[in-house]
Amino acid sequence: MRARISSAARTASPSPVSHHSFARGKFGLGLSAVVILVLNLALLPISAHASVQACTEAGLDAAIAAGGSNTFSCAGATTIAITASKSISVANLVLDGGGLLTISGGNARRIFQVNGGSAVTFQNLTISNGFLASGSGAGILNFGTAAIVNSAFSGNVIVTGGGAAVQNVGAMTVDKSTFLNNSVTSVSGIADGAAINNNGNSLIVSNSTFSGNSAGRGGAILASTGLSIYNSTIVGNSASVTCGAGAIFAVGTTTLANTIVANNTSGGACRPNCNGTVVSGADSMSDNADCGASITQRTVVQINLGTLTGSPAYFPLNPGSTAIDAGSNAICAAAPVNNTSQNGIPRPTDGNGDGTATCDVGSFEAAALVAIVPAAPAPTLSLWVMLLLAVLLSVATFVQLSRAQD
């Protein structure tokens, strides 16, 4: 500190400044800048630290009012059953449930509405049991910009309308998330897209799982506007309308890449997987040609999914699955997949042991298959035999020499 003051005094001196003292002054100012920078860096983590909110509805309300990055002090797995729907109008909000927090609508109300001009990230959360008798987006209704990361949607219900889990009217990304058992139940009215109803300006889905969702049309997804789905697994969803597409009903163009769509059902046993404008390349896989003639067709048995596991839950690929090492590495390397998977194994990994690391189709990436090489036989016996032979040879030689001497 003393050096900084004296240097500053020297540079502030009205007397002629020599090159030498100017250099020292610059050094002193440089030092002070470093000291200030270090102090600022020391303070930064405090000012930039996420707010830690109570693991209660009041804590959730405080987070929504405050904006910024928010975590919750949940001691263990906790469900907050909200008593009022949450309308969000903040420029920047992160709600991070830490993998412990479930926010429930109590089968009585919409859970979140993201208003225009707002940007919200929902991460490490479960959003369940939202309910609307009629309308859109019982889990989340998005008019703004929303990112859903590593989160689960389950048991959200709308009677008449669309998007029981998510209705997107704005811009949205969904990554490493799971939609399970959401439903739009109306038989005679509108019942569209139980997991996602997209009528927004963009929706990009990656590394995600859709299963057990049911609606009239688009059991999992109804897309009125453009939708892109990368490395996701869409299986076991159902549509009640004839040709209603259990997985995806696309009015706007839906593009599938490295994605599994299989074992879905619809009314009339017609178009169980996809209906409408769905474009899929050979990197995606399905049990029929509903989602595009150029999709790779494999049977459900060949795709060979394991049972749901993990949180958010995903379907593993059993050993021998034809989806292992069958994807496009270029798609995996690019955004939004960025060589990640829903189960945490980096892509691409050599899952079939052929020596080439190739990306899997679907949300899951199989771990490296290590070839089992039989162990070399133990040398013990042959060593003992050799030793015995050597001893016998030595004895024989000794006896012969002894006889020769005799």
Tell me which residues touch Ca ion (CB under 5 A): 325, 349, 351, 360
The residue nearest Ca ion at its CB is 351
Neighbours of 32 (CB within 10 A): 16
Contact 290, 272 (CB under 8 A): yes
In the chain, what is the greatest distance between 2 CA atoms, to the nearest angstrom? 118
Closest approach, Cβ 72 to Ca ion, in A, equals 36
Contacts of 208 (CB under 8 A, 6+ apart): 174, 175, 176, 177, 178, 179, 229, 232, 233, 342, 363
Nearer to Ca ion, 105 or 351 (CB): 351
Nearest CB to Ca ion, comparing residues 192 and 365: 365
| Closer by beta carbon to Ca ion, 273 or else 342 | 342
Produce one character per residue of 372-387: b if its CB has 16 or more CB atoms within 10 Å, e if not. Answer: eeeeeeeeeeeeeeee
Sign of the torsion angle spanned by Cα atoms 262, 266, 269, 271: negative
Q: For residues 340 and 346, what is the distance between their CA atoms, to the nearest angstrom?
A: 5
Quote the least distance from Cβ 358 to Ca ion, whole Å: 5
Closest C-alpha to 126, from 334, 311, 373, 353 = 311
**Is the CB of residue 160 less than 8 Å from the CB of residue 168?**
no
- Alpha carbon distances (Å) from 224 to 72, 248, 349: 36, 11, 35
The residues that bridge with 154 in the sheet, in sequence order, are: 128, 180
Question: Looking at beta carbons only, is 100 or 305 nearer to Ca ion?
Answer: 305
- Closest approach, Cβ 322 to Ca ion, in A, equals 12
C-beta of 172: minimal distance to Ca ion in Å? Answer: 28
Q: Minimal distance in Å, beta carbon 230 to Ca ion?
A: 15
Ramachandran angles phi, psi of 377, nearest 5°: -60, 145
Nearer to Ca ion, 320 or 374 (CB): 320
Helix ranges (H only) for 15-163 are 19-48, 57-66
How far apart are CB 327 and Ca ion at their closest, in Å?
Answer: 7
| Closest to Ca ion by CB, 255 or 258 | 258
- Other Cβ atoms less than 10 A from the Cβ of 11: the count is 15
CB of 376 to Ca ion, least distance (A): 30
Minimum gap (Å) between residue 348 Cβ and Ca ion:
5
156 close to 164: Cβ distance less than 8 angstroms? yes
Between 163 and 351, name the residue whose CB sits nearer to Ca ion.
351
Q: Which is nearer to Ca ion, 160 or 343 (CB)?
A: 343
Handedness of CA 330, 200, 136, 290 (dihedral sign): negative
Nearer to Ca ion, 192 or 360 (CB): 360
Please state the closest distance from residue 85 (CB atom) to Ca ion, in A: 42
